[in-house]
A and B are shown apart, each in its own frame.
Chain A
Amino acid sequence: MAVTSFDPIVSKRLRIPNSHTLEVYLSNDGYVGLKKALSMNPEDVASEVMTASLLGRGGAGFPAGRKWAMLKNDLVKYLVINGDESEPATFKDHELVEKDPHQIIEGTIIAAYALGVTQAFIFCRGEFALGFERLQSALNEAYEYGALGRDIFGSGFSLDMVIHPGAGAYICGEETALLESLEGKRGYPRIKPPFFPAVIGLYGKPTVVNNMETVSNLPWIVINGGAAFAALGEGSSAGTRLFALSGHVNRPGWYEIEMAKTTFRDLIEHPDLGGGIRMGRSLKAFIPGGVSAPWFGPNEMDMPLSQDAVAQAGSMLGSGSVVVMDETTCPVRAAWRITKFFSRESCGQCTPCREGSGWIERTMRRIELGAGRMEDIDLVLDACDNISPGLSWPPKQTTICVLGPSIPSSVNSAITMFRDDFVAHIKDGKCNYA
């Protein structure tokens, strides 16, 4: 495996000064994809996306084309773009919304055209203050430019778009909680059935919810064709993907990488990418796809960045965030910090997640602070098991949404991979990493 060379897709404008403005966007192929799409049949646009086998970039990795095909036909239907990126270590949408908001808007219009939707919403994380401001300006520019509103570019297609800031809850990134929030209600994930927003979504109408990065690929796919996209990557992991690399590497940041062709080792160690682990230390563990994902160790370093391969190994590429932990990292503390995040962000609807997350967090903290008991290790695992029975992968759950089974991922990984560290904390009555 190696780092392949290709023309970047979603990140091509990110390093250009003032890339967020319409002027710069237009001089770099801006709205070319939309104009081409509008000259095609909506069905043909959708079929290009199907051919591209573009996987959703929000975390679950569901093929976008198939999601579109599920949209129930109705007089009123909606398109909602999920930009509520709030998970620790995940920052790819943050880059896209700050540096290339027009690309998101253009992708959204293309998706709306393909779906026959006339009202779209972008739900953007409220804390992206600059990004939100730029998205708003871009939206105004797009309206002025004629890319939005009535009769876009004289095509007869009309679309209105509303930007909505999230109010600071991670759970609103869960698509049904996002829809509730957008409707002005508490951000509670909806219980199934109905199983898909594509049937009953926003205001009870069929709705497609796509991630910001997912739609950012659309202008390129329309210009270059779905087949060109599918030619990149391998198998079901087609195209390129924006990875957010953080933790103990020399060059943390975002990197657009061809999927399945590149390995974790390439991403972490290649001088043009992560540039290796800081201060020449060795790797302890890494999280392959955001803090909801089970951890990997040095043995998985040569695994390709492929959705299927990672899933088979018992984790997920998730939101594309890779977190590197070097040998000086306390796994107890790392898992505790992640649990604390989930505990704070549980919506409080389901008993196991609401009560379990807090209990697990407090027990983990006690172990980290040196007050743990030997039985606490299995206790924590059993508490995790009551949220995600069997602690298997893909996870089972006793809760409505997947925030619940996200809690055990890191705890279970830390205990399974580094049980000795837990025992040492308890025996020594302190954290030896501190």
Chain B
Amino acid sequence: MPESNDKITVTVDGNEVRADPGELIIEVAERAGVFVPRFCYHPRMKPVGMCRMCLVEVSSPRGPSLQPACFVPVADGMEISTESQSVQKAQNGVLEYLLLNHPLDCPVCDKGGECPLQDQTLAYGPGESRQVEEKRHFAKPIPISTLVELDRERCIQCSRCTRFANEIAGEALIDFFGRGEDTEVAIFPGKPFDSYFAGNTVQICPVGALTATPYRFKARPWDLEQVESTCTLCSVGCRIAVQSSANEVVRHLGIDIESVNHSWLCDKGRFGYLAMRSETRILEPSLRENGELVEVSWTDALEKAAALISEAKLVHGPQAIGFIGGARLTNESAYAWTKVAKAVVATDNTDAQLGDGMPAELVLGLPRATISDACKAKKLIVIGEDLKEVAPVLFLRLRPLIEEGKIDLVEFSTHETSLSKLAKASIPLVPGEIGTRVRALIGFIKGTKDAGEGIGIDVQEIKNASQALGSLEDNSDLVVIFSNSSAIENTQDLQAGILALEESFKNAKFMPVLRRSNIFGALDMGLSPNLLPGRVTLSGAKEYYKKQWGSVPEKSGMSALEMLKAASESKLKVLVLLGCDPISDFPDSKLAKDALLKVDTVIFVDSLANSSLDYADIVLPASMDSEREGSFTNLEGRISRISKKVSALGSSWPDWAIASELADALGEDLGFGSLDDIAKEIARLAPAYQGLRSTLSLRSEVDEGILLPVTSTKVEIKRKQGDPMVHLGLISVEHQGAPLKSGASNEPGVYSDEKQKPEIGSTVSLISKSDIKSDINLEPETEASGAKSLRLVVTRRLFDRGTQIYNSPFFRELISEQEVRIHPETASSLGIDNGGKVSISGESKKVSGLVVLDNRVDQSGVVLTWNVSEEDVRLLASDSEKSAHWVEVEN
């Protein structure tokens, strides 16, 4: 919509409406309270005017004519009739036509009861069919992917699914085949609809043509209840409706949030609930006795845990106790565990990251970009992982804008990513070279260096990148998205590159991407060495928190790596695992195993069994999403609600309750009688969260969530009223008496008046750039030697053998094979062919995989994928503290 003050006036059914030039009739009518029936139109996609359901009568110099409201823009003085006789006849006619070949499946169709074809037929269509001929028949349903089934008889050819796949996801894996009446949606022979985003086509299908295999025949819409919540499977924080039937979660639907997910979800988030009822769910507390885990009562388990922690603290001091993990927790639970560790046990040994992330100061200390900032940016730098693999819906928001040329992308990547083909420049990376290559680019822009001089990359790419980024002067339209480019390396080098960018592009905004769940909430809540809740450092906020909590650790604690090392040297005695699996997720699996074996006590707090469970001495079952309440902070620093819909399985407790009861067993009172107490304490104490009434009172702002720190007392954006054609399953369930926002509180989230804000005792400054370590050692500690001449890079995939995925039969098939990405020239010098099977040998182990030639891989590197096969790529690496690992690739 063009930004203009020159409003025009049109009449809709006789009522005058002001509109912006270029606005579509369908939008203007909707603002005027007139709903124009439609099938193909979806506000998040380009209109095509194909279904002809939205025909309205429009005045023109040649008399009134029927025009598609979804395609024709308004013009000044236009008279629009949405209910004239000819409009009604056209609507009736289109619906009769659509029903000619539509099967009478309604009683057995998943869509029945929430079906726009049913609803609009009732409102605008004929009462009965005049056709006596046989309907068109197809074999039905046919699976087009692991998760989606296609019923071509029900399809009304609106092209919503094909347009989503092509226009939004950029994967035209489904399209129309045939012509006229024989038109059918189909996949290409031998190519299933294996898109991370396939589930969205099910959500936007206006009939039951596309159904989700896990949901088929699970429930009827009128049996469903729902609540608004946040997806916690990555750090984007997409807003979802959790729908349940008979106390079991059966469906997630995406909610249209302007700032976040535009109603889209990835399939991992959409179907992640399937793990809730997995066989590996931990339902009861247990203790290890004679090598076996034996179920015990909560009291026994907590008393045992408290006793072991107290003993270790007494004998070895608080430094002998450590807490690893916490990204899976809600903000409130993370706060409670931080308080247990830092105030009760008095240790700073907490780390929500598992050695594969980025330093907390780098994550929290830079001017942060929102998703909207990134989408509105004219220039975008993406450094590190493929966004589609680590933050899928962020990728989905950005991709169409980059394709349309609204954003110029410069990419620094270790391999071809999902955005490489759209990038203005794609600069290859190997770990250790990020700083060098970023500086080369900056140097070139400044004109102080020849492009790519002496750093072994294509000069043209540096030139293209420089052209895309323009001058260094005005960079308020530049956003830098960054993540660790190789899961097995430290991020000193990345940090150097980011700091160089920050220094040169003064007004740029930064978006750090950490893939794990509520990791941003966990860091905000202080689950990191040298941090305290509210984006403050231990050193900066020690006195402040001492006053509030009574006690804080005296000195900085250990990171996950340091804790595991200490454990393997028997210096750490008790290790509390907060929903994490170091055996599978820590970059050095040897060290992780050794540490868990040697540490005296492992207290395992989680919902699902994983590889680290074998080492647990005390197991405390935690409830999962949709069984718990709380809040979530996404990668923008936006807080939103996690809501409860079903009862927790077994004896599992919410994590905050486990923390609170453990403190109790340790003889301390956290002061939390309820979740609300924690939510209010965070808002009262944690500096970045001040200004909120409570982390749970988001009611009036639930629409968009609240960006932290709170800078405004007013939250302006309000979600549009639900559109029955966008929120198919949401509105119908709401109409049946289950309001979507039933999980949200009634209080406004922020204080509406500055004066109402409670006084804060002392001023504590938030983490800033000055807290980021700048003394960085960029020299690799090892060098290529002999045949081991290729630098090892390990990247992440959305679907890997992680707990929640491997425990769902639907996801397991989506885990890809181990790919060995290598530059064609490197391959030919080694005599390796595309698609061939090769073995990679590193420090102590060999791994095999299939060769993928990729000319965006640096010639000195080889790129493997983390945790996709039984062979552990981490064993190729040497010591995890080394910043470079070298391998040999052979046939």
A interface residue numbers (CB < 8 A to B): 169, 171, 186, 191, 193, 343-352, 354-359, 362-363, 366, 373, 379, 383, 385-387, 389, 396-400
Cα A348 to Cα B159 with chains together (Å): 11
Complex Cα distance, B55 from A348, in Å, reads: 18
Give Cα distance in the complex from A85 to B58, angstroms: 34
CB within 8 Å of A: which of B355-411? none
A403 to B673 Cα, complex, angstroms: 72
Given contacts A350-B50, A351-B98, A355-B97, are A398 and B90 in contact (CB under 8 A)? yes
Contacts of B182 in A (CB 8 A): 348
User: When the two chains form their complex, are residues A191 and B68 in contact, meaning their CB atoms are under 8 A apart?
Assistant: yes
Would B90 and A386 count as touching, CB distance under 8 A?
yes
Once the chains bind, are B66 and A359 in contact (CB under 8 Å)?
no
B52→A355 contact, CB < 8 A: no
| Chain B nearest CB, measured from A166 CB (Å) | 13
Q: Which of A355, A386, A387, A399 has the most CB of B within 10 A?
A: A355
Q: Please judge, given known A-B contacts A359-B133, A386-B96, whether A352 and B52 are in contact too, CB under 8 Å.
A: yes
Cα distance A282–B787 when bound, in Å? 94
Across the interface, name the chain A residue whose C-beta is closest to B133.
Answer: A362
CB neighbours (8 Å) of B52 from chain A are 350-352, 398-399
Q: Considering only CB atoms, which chain B residue lies closest to A390 in the complex?
A: B86
9 nearest interchain CB pairs? A386-B93, A348-B183, A355-B97, A346-B180, A358-B181, A191-B49, A362-B133, A348-B180, A351-B52
Q: How distant is B141 from chain A, measured CB to nearest CB, in Å? A: 21
On chain B, the residues within 8 Å of A373 by CB distance are 132
Task: Give the chain B neighbours of A186 by CB distance below 8 A.
Answer: 176
- The smallest beta-carbon distance between B333 and chain A, in angstroms, is 52
A355 contacts B101, C-beta separation under 8 Å: yes
Q: CB distance A351 to B72 under 8 Å?
A: no
Give Cα A261 to B583, complex, Å. Answer: 93
In the complex, the answer to whether A389 meets B130 with C-beta atoms within 8 Å is no
Residues of A within 8 A of B72 (CB): 193
B53 at the interface (CB under 8 A from A): yes
Q: Do the beta carbons of A346 and B179 come within 8 Å of each other?
A: yes
> Given that A359-B131, A389-B66 are contacting pairs, would A354 and B93 also be in contact in the complex, using a CB cutoff of 8 Å?
no
Smallest distance from the beta carbon of B77 to chain A beta carbons, Å? 17
- Please, how many angstroms separate the alpha-carbon atoms of A387 and B131 in the complex? 16
Closest chain A residue to B95 by CB distance? A351
Q: Among the interface residues A186, A193, A354, which one has the most CB atoms of the partner chain B within 10 A?
A: A354
- Contact A355–B100 (Cβ < 8 Å): yes
- Interface bits B140-171 vs A (CB < 8 Å: 1, else 0): 00000000000000001100000000000000
Apart from the given pairs A343-B181, A386-B89, A396-B65, 6 other A-B contacts in the complex at a CB distance below 8 Å: A347-B179, A348-B178, A356-B93, A366-B133, A379-B130, A386-B96
Complex contacts, B48 vs chain A, CB 8 Å: 191
Are A354 and B133 CB-contacts (below 8 A) given A386-B93, A398-B90, A398-B94? no
Residues of A with C-beta under 8 A to B73: 193
Assess whether A352 is in contact with B94, with CB atoms less than 8 Å apart.
yes
Q: How large is the interface on B (under 10, 10 to 19, 20 to 34, 35 or more residues)?
A: 35 or more
Bound-state CA distance A344–B179 (Å) is 8
Q: Which residue of A is nearest B71, CB measured?
A: A191
> In the complex, what residues of A have CB within 8 A of residue B71's CB?
191
Closest chain-A Cβ to B93's Cβ sits at a distance in Å of: 3
In the complex, the answer to whether A352 meets B66 with C-beta atoms within 8 Å is no
Q: Mark B612-652, 1 if CB is under 8 A from A, else 0.
A: 00000000000000000000000000000000000000000
**Is the CB–CB distance between B180 and A345 below 8 Å?**
yes
Output the nearest chain A residue to B63 by Cβ-Cβ distance.
Answer: A396
Residues of B with C-beta under 8 A to A399:
52
Contact A349 B50 (CB under 8 A): yes
Q: State in angstroms the CA–CA spacing of A134 and B130 once bound together.
A: 51
CA of A335 to CA of B614, assembled, Å: 78
B8 contacts partner chain A, Cβ-Cβ < 8 Å = no
Residues B68-116 near A (CB distance < 8 A): 68, 71-73, 86, 89-90, 92-94, 96-98, 100-101
* Complex Cα–Cα for A359 and B68 (A): 23
Question: Are B94 and A348 in contact, with the CB atoms below 8 A?
Answer: no
Q: CA A397 – CA B65 in complex, angstroms?
A: 9
Find chain A residues with CB under 8 A from B49 CB: 191, 400
Closest to B182 in A: A348
> Closest Cβ of chain A: how far from B94's Cβ, in Å?
5
CB < 8 Å neighbour of A389 from B86, B100, B132, B179? B86
| Contact yes or no, B181 A357, CB < 8 A | yes
B interface list, Cβ under 8 A from A: 48-53, 55, 65-66, 68, 71-73, 86, 89-90, 92-94, 96-98, 100-101, 130-133, 156-157, 176, 178-183
User: In the bound complex, what is the Cα–Cα distance between A347 and B52 (angstroms)?
Assistant: 14
Decide yes or no: A398 and B100 within 8 Å by CB, A169-B179, A193-B72, A354-B181 being known contacts: no
Residue of A nearest to B39 (CB): A351
A–B complex contacts, Cβ < 8 Å, 7 sampled: A343-B180, A346-B180, A346-B181, A350-B52, A351-B53, A356-B97, A385-B93
CB-CB under 8 A from B53, the residues of chain A are 351
Bound-complex Cα distance A180 to B71 (A): 19
List residues of chain A with CB within 8 A of the CB of B97: 351-352, 354-356, 359, 386
Closest to A358 in B: B181
Q: Which residue of B lies closest to A169 (CB)?
A: B179
Complex: how many Å from CA A193 to CA B131? 34
Max count, chain A CB within 10 A of own CB: residue among B49, B50, B51, B179:
B179
| Residue in chain B with minimal CB distance to A342 | B180
**B175 — nearest CB in chain A belongs to which residue?**
A186
Cβ B96 vs Cβ A354 within 8 A = no
Q: In the complex, which of the residues B50, B55, B180 contacts A358, with contact meaning CB atoms closer than 8 Å?
A: B180
Distance in angstroms from A72 CB to nearest chain B CB is 19
Contacts of A400 in B (CB 8 A): 49-50
Q: Are A398 and B93 in contact (CB under 8 A)?
A: yes
In angstroms, how far is the closest chain A Cβ from the Cβ of B46? 11
Q: How far is the CB of A47 from chain B (nearest CB, A)?
A: 29
Residue in A closest to B66 when the chains form the complex, CB atoms: A398
Nearest CB to that of A397 among chain B residues?
Answer: B66
Q: Which residues of the partner chain A approach B66 to less than 8 Å between Cβ atoms?
A: 389, 396-398
Bound-complex Cα distance A197 to B738 (A): 51
Closest residue of chain B to A357, judged by CB?
B180
Question: Contacts A191-B48, A191-B49 known; A352 to B93 CB distance under 8 Å?
Answer: yes
Chain A residues closer than 8 Å to B132, beta-carbon distance: 366, 373
Contact B55 A354 (CB under 8 A): no
Query: Which A-chain residue is minimally distant from B72 (CB atoms)?
Result: A193
- Residue of A with least CB distance to B49: A191
Instruction: Please state if A351 and B180 are interface contacts (CB–CB under 8 Å).
Output: no
The listed residue with most B CB atoms (<10 A of its CB), out of A191, A351, A357, is A351
Q: Whose C-beta in chain A lies nearest to the C-beta of B48? A: A191
CA distance A348 to B177 in the complex (A): 10
Q: Considering the chains assembled together, what is the distance between the CA atoms of A396 and B58 in angstroms? A: 13
Closest to B99 in A: A355
**Nearest chain A CB to B407's CB is how many angstroms away?**
20
Closest Cβ of chain B: how far from A425's Cβ, in Å?
16
Min CB–CB distance B200 → chain A (angstroms): 22
How far apart sit A169 and B182, CA to CA, in the bound complex (Å)? 14
Cα of A399 to Cα of B93 in the assembled complex, Å:
12
Distance, CA A357 to CA B50, complexed state (A): 16
Q: Which residues of B contact A191 (CB under 8 A)?
A: 48-50, 68, 71
B98 touches A355 (CB 8 A): yes
B contact residues around A343 at 8 Å (CB): 180-181
Specify which chain A residues have a CB less than 8 angstroms from the CB of B86 in the assembled complex: 389
Q: Which of B92, B130, B181 contacts A355 (CB 8 A)?
A: B181
Once the chains are docked, how many angstroms separate the CA of A396 from the CA of B86?
12
Residue of B nearest to A353 (CB): B180
Contacts of B51 in A (CB 8 A): 350-351
> Which residues does chain A contribute within 8 Å of B90, judged by CB atoms?
386, 389, 398
Once bound together, how far apart are the Cα atoms of A389 and B94, in whole Å?
12
| Chain A residues with CB below 8 A from B130, complex form | 379
Contacts of A386 in B (CB 8 A): 89-90, 92-94, 96-97
**Set B68, B131, B183: member contacting A354, Cβ < 8 A:** B183
- The distance in angstroms between the C-alpha atoms of A354 and B184, with both chains bound, is 12
B179 shortest CB reach to chain A, Å: 5
A348 touches B179 (CB 8 A): yes
